[in-house]
Amino acid sequence: MNPAARIYLVGAGPGRADWLTVRAATLLAQADVVISDRLVSREVLTKINPTAEVVLLEEDHGNRERRQLRILHLLEAYARRYRCVVRLKGGDPFVFGRGAEEWAWLVQRGWAVEVVPGVSSAIALPASAGIPPTFRGISSAFAVVTGCLRGGAEPSWERYAQVDTLIILMGVSRRAQIAGALIRAGRPAEQPCCFIENGATPRERIIRATLGEVAGGLCHVNSPAVWVVGDVVSLKDQLRGIATQPTTSILATDHAEHPASPDSLSEPELGLR
């Protein structure tokens, strides 16, 4: 055991380096070693201390548990040699990233661990595309759901079918089955949905469709992508259009000194019906 060592579970965010938290950027700049997930962007990797040892992990689709155990042993081995060990994970470490499992394993073995939250792709990418997860009168709740459980099991989509907005991660390969299950659970086939593929990178692509089109295999998407299902998707073009208008055309003159928050904009001002 190296008593001077500290292991940091750091969220890298969705891809843009300027979306890193200040704490994350500071730790990357002073790290002795960084063990990074494959999906962390090159832009973020450029922020790592140039003298640090960098380990880029590859996917092991054959045995995920074996891969995870290897990562844990790597962290422990490097912590015996270095003071500042950074485990860099895409998005937020605790949002479907197994960060909590790594934290628990390391703490149980006596290592000092600090968790550095990251900007989750589940919230950031829809927001950057102009899709709010909640909006007064349209969506009062949202759920972030994984498209695949341990062992390849399917989530119970009936549990989520009534939630206004669904944000589905790791669901691209099963999108047709998931969309079909949601429709069978009562979600309308004509409901809009949107995939944000390779979000926050130069290769970002936004694919819009209805839930029925996805169920019918008519929507072509590549992984990784964040999938948003719900009527808030229809706000995308309206909010983008408002953003390009002069401020005076959005806000009433008596609000000029105290600009309205998004909550205070009425439906007619947004052109909603």
d(Cα 41, Cα 12) in Å, to the nearest integer?
8
Structure tokens at 250: 């959005």
CB contact at 8 A, 10 and 24: yes
Tell me how far the alpha carbon of residue 169 is from its chain's centroid. Answer: 7
Q: Nearest to residue 116, comparing CAs of 6, 37, 12?
A: 12
CATH number of 6-119: 3.40.1010.10
Q: Which CATH number fits domain 122-237: 3.65.10.10, 3.20.20.70, 3.30.950.10, 3.90.50.10?
A: 3.30.950.10
What is the amino acid identity at position 95?
A: V
Q: What are the residue ranges of CATH 3.30.950.10 in the chain?
A: 122-237
Q: Is 273 helix (H, G, I), strand (E, B) or coil?
A: coil
The pLDDT, as a whole number, for residue 209 is: 97
CB contact at 8 A, 168 and 148: no
Q: What are the residue ranges of CATH 3.40.1010.10 in the chain?
A: 6-119
3-state percent helix, strand, coil for the chain, nearest multiple of 5: 35, 20, 45
d(Cα 273, Cα 237) in Å, to the nearest integer?
15
CB contact at 8 A, 9 and 105: no
Q: Is 24 helix (H, G, I), strand (E, B) or coil?
A: helix
d(Cα 237, Cα 150) in Å, to the nearest integer?
37
pLDDT by residue for the chain (273 residues), tens only, comes to 888 999 999 999 999 999 999 999 999 999 999 999 988 999 999 999 999 999 999 876 667 788 899 999 999 999 999 999 999 999 999 999 899 999 999 999 999 999 999 999 999 999 999 999 999 999 999 999 999 887 767 888 999 999 999 999 999 999 999 999 999 999 999 999 999 999 998 899 999 999 999 999 999 999 999 999 999 999 987 766 554 554 433 333 333 333 334 443 334 444 443
The pLDDT, as a whole number, for residue 258 is: 38
Q: Is the previous residue joined to 132 through a cis bond, with omega within 30 degrees of 0? A: no
d(Cα 204, Cα 222) in Å, to the nearest integer?
11
